[in-house]
Amino acid sequence: MQPSTYKLLGYLLLGIGVYAFLNANNTDLQANSTVTEQQTTYKRNRHTITLVLSQLSDLKVEEGQRINVGDVISDRTSERTKLQAKKQRLEASLTRARLPLRELKPVPEPKFQSELAALKQAQFQLDAIARQVKNFDHSFYHKDPWHVQVFESEKVQQLADLKRRELEASINLEKAIARLDEAKLNYQKQQYEHSLKVSDYQTLMQRQQTQITSLQSQLDKVDEELEQLTSVYSPYRGKVRRVKVLNQSERDINVEVTLDIRDR
């Protein structure tokens, strides 16, 4: 083979080697460029949530926990359970307090029919006997008493019986009047006792209204507290970076939860 042929073959191999070398370098550059793009796609930032808890068990997340959008961060379950039980008790008490009081009936006005009838009958009997006595007395008025005692002793006895019956009729009349007076006094007593019951009834109504107002106020307060006991949900997807107790009072614990979140 001639020297010129060797030279041509050498140039050809040299060109193939250079092309292969350049092609390999371009491939590495493309791979490195792709990796760099994936690493810079994700950007981390932080989000802080301040919570008010009644106890630490109300916190439903812990440091290092991964969470998604909508996951519960805090829920005051025990406090809500207590308030709901209190609400049920108040509603039951309010229902009982609103029950109507027993109706207070007025005292019926009496007519004293039986007492007046007895009085009228006693008066009639007395008047009838009194007329008979008067007639006997009139028949004896102009007569000699001795003559009457001797010759009209039977009439004298009849007059004595009439006067005895007149006395009895008078007593019966007094009793009838007493029974009528007693009935009237009894009615007055019933009226007085009824006035006391009316006063007590009005006091009970006032107490009932006061109790209803108090129970309704307590129930409204419980409803308001229940509305404030809302669950807190995560607005982002990420990881719980830190849980920090800020301060604590007699009823509440203030906690700060920091999230590491990602945005594409």
pLDDT by 10s per residue, the chain, length 264? 444 555 555 555 555 554 544 454 443 323 232 232 333 344 568 899 998 888 888 889 999 999 999 999 988 888 888 999 999 999 999 999 999 988 888 988 888 899 999 999 999 999 999 888 887 765 555 555 655 554 456 666 777 788 888 999 999 999 999 999 999 999 999 999 999 999 999 999 999 999 999 999 999 999 998 888 888 999 999 999 999 999 988 888 899 999 998 755
* Domain presence at residue 131: yes
Task: Specify whether 29 is located in the same domain as 54.
Answer: no
* Domain presence at residue 99: no
Task: Specify whether 190 is located in the same domain as 264.
Answer: no
* Domain presence at residue 101: no
Q: Which two tokens stand for residue 103?
A: 């109706």
Q: Are 46 and 244 in contact (CB under 8 A)?
A: no
Task: Specify whether 143 is located in the same domain as 178.
Answer: yes
Helix, strand or coil, per DSSP, at residue 68: coil
Question: Which contacts qualify for 84-92: CB closer than 8 Å, 24 or more apart?
Answer: 84/226, 86/222, 87/219, 87/222, 87/223, 87/226, 90/215, 90/218, 90/219, 90/222, 91/219
Please give the model's pTM, rounded to 2 decimal places: 0.54
**For the chain, how many structural domains are there in total?**
3
* Enclosing domain of residue 153: 113-209
Helix, strand or coil, per DSSP, at residue 180: helix
